[in-house]
């Protein structure tokens, strides 16, 4: 598996969602740190066919960290989807947490030990570190906040900086990687990077015309990489 450095030693890294091996190479060549395979036509957690994800993982090799969305199903459906995506060779698998109970979370994590990341939606509201604690106890390796609706309303509009900072801190306290995503643009990077998540996730903001259904734009990815590197950490302020 890829070596994920502790958050205290590095700046936040760039996660770029791609819909196939060609976009994956575009993201890689522009400097993306994590290549995330998902279907932008199917919402926040639309899964790609396993054979497409396998091609993404094979094309990237060990040159970047990889992840794939397993969908937003429940019960035995999501457990089977996790196992299928785990077999493609990606480093991490992302699933929606939703209202799953502790037993369901543990079953999901057990399908790919040390590789499952729980996705929470900003629209559902988050309180304290209860969810990071539950995910860590269930065996998840990370947690990410995203936006369910992909209408252009960015994450910072739905959640305040103190709320997002509390989520990141909760993840850190429980040994989880943390990620922030949801209709983000280049202008969102400085403020969010100061919260010190492990990853900031992008799709639409790095596509042609800012449309997540359009092709990934390598030049925009490169600008995001530069912006991430130029953004100071909170502890450096």
Active-site position among 13, 38, 115, 148:
38
Say whether 150 is catalytic: no
User: What DSSP assignment string belongs to 152-204?
Assistant: S--HHHHS-HHHHHHHHHHHHHTT-EEEEESS--GGGHHHHHTT--SEEEESG
- Marked catalytic residue, from 94, 115, 172, 194: 94
DSSP secondary structure string, the chain? ---PPPGGGS--EEEEEESSHHHHHHHHHHT-SEEEE--GGG-TTPPPPHHHHHHHHHHHTTSSEEEEE--S--HHHHHHHHHHHHTTT-SEEEEE-TT--HHHHHHHHHTSTT-EEEEEEGGG---TTHHHHHHHHHT-SEEEEE-S--SS--HHHHS-HHHHHHHHHHHHHTT-EEEEESS--GGGHHHHHTT--SEEEESGGGBGGG-TTSPB-HHHHHHHHHHHHHSPPGGG-
Active site residues: 38, 94
């Amino acid at each position: 598996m890829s070596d994920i450095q502790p958050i205290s030693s590095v700046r936040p890294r760039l996660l770029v969602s791609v819909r196939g091996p060609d976009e994956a190479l575009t993201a890689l060549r522009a400097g993306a740190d994590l290549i995330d395979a998902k279907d932008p036509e199917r919402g926040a957690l639309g899964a790609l066919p396993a054979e497409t994800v396998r091609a993404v993982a094979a094309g990237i090799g060990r040159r970047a960290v990889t992840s794939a969305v397993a969908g937003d199903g429940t019960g035995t459906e999501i457990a089977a989807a996790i196992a299928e995506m785990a077999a493609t060779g990606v480093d991490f698998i992302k699933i929606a947490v939703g209202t799953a109970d502790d037993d369901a979370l543990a079953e999901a994590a057990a399908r790919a030990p040390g590789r499952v990341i729980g996705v929470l939606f900003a629209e559902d509201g988050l309180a304290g570190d209860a969810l990071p604690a539950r995910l860590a106890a269930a065996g998840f390796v990370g947690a990410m906040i995203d936006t369910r609706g992909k209408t252009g309303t960015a994450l910072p509009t739905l959640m305040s900086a103190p709320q997002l900072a509390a989520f990141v801190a909760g993840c850190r306290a429980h040994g989880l990687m943390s990620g922030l995503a949801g209709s983000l643009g280049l202008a969102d990077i400085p403020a969010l990077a100061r919260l010190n998540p492990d990853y900031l996730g992008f799709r639409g903001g790095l596509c042609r015309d800012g449309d997540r259904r359009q092709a990934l734009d390598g030049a925009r990815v490169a600008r995001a990489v530069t912006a991430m590197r130029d953004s100071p950490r909170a502890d450096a302020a």
